[in-house]
Amino acid sequence: MQIPLQDSAYIDLHIHSTASDGSLTPVEIIETAKKAGLRAIAITDHDTLDGSVEALQYQHSSGIEILPGIEISANFDFGTMHILGYLIRLDDVSLRQTLKVIQEGRASRNIQIIKRLQGLGIDISHDEVSEASGGGQIGRPHIAQVLVNKRIVQNIDEAFNKFLRKGRPAYVKRYRLAPAEAIQAILRAGGVPVLAHPFTLNEKTEGGLDRILADLKQDGLKGVEVYYPDHGPDLTAQYQRLAHRHELLMTGGTDFHGTAKPGVYIGIGKGELRIPYRLVEALKQSASQTPS
Task: Choose from Fe ion, Zn ion, ligand AMP, none: what does 89 bind? Cβ within 5-8 Å by kind.
Answer: none
**Is residue 19 a contact partner of residue 48, using CB atoms and an 8 Å limit?**
yes
Distance of CA 181 to the CA centre of its chain: 17
157 binds ligand AMP (CB under 6 A): yes
The stretch among 23-31, 60-68, 248-256, 269-277 that binds Zn ion (CB under 5 A) is 248-256
85 binds ligand AMP (CB under 6 A): no
Among candidate residues 244, 50, 224, 241, the one with its CA nearest the CA of residue 138: 50
Segment interacting with ligand AMP, rule: CB under 6 A, options 94-102, 133-141, 208-216, 267-275: 133-141
**Rounded CA separation 22/257 (Å):** 4
Residues 179-198 close enough to bind Zn ion by CB under 5 A:
none
Site for Zn ion, residues 255 to 274, rule: CB under 5 A: 255
Of residues 59 through 78, those in contact with Zn ion by CB under 5 A are 71
| Residue 47 or 92 with smaller CB distance to Fe ion | 47
Q: How many CB atoms lie within 10 A of CB 245?
A: 12
Residues binding Fe ion (CB under 5 A): 21, 82, 196
Q: Which is nearer to Fe ion, 9 or 156 (CB)?
A: 156
| Interaction of residue 46 with ligand AMP, rule CB under 6 A | yes
Q: By C-alpha distance, which of 45, 211, 246 is closest to 226? A: 246
- DSSP class of 128: H
- Should residue 165 be labelled a site residue for ligand AMP when binding is judged by CB under 6 A? yes
- Per the CB < 8 A criterion, the answer to whether 48 and 103 are in contact is yes
Q: Are 16 and 45 in contact (CB under 8 A)?
A: yes
Q: Is 203 in the site for Zn ion (CB under 5 A)?
A: no
* 229 binding ligand AMP? (CB under 6 A): no
269 touches ligand AMP by CB under 6 A: no
Length of the chain, in residues: 292
**Hey, is 264 helix, strand or coil?**
coil
Contacts (Cβ under 8 Å, ≥6 apart) of 35: none
Residues near Zn ion, by CB under 5 A: 71, 255
Residues near ligand AMP, by CB under 6 A: 21, 46, 139-141, 156-157, 160, 165, 257
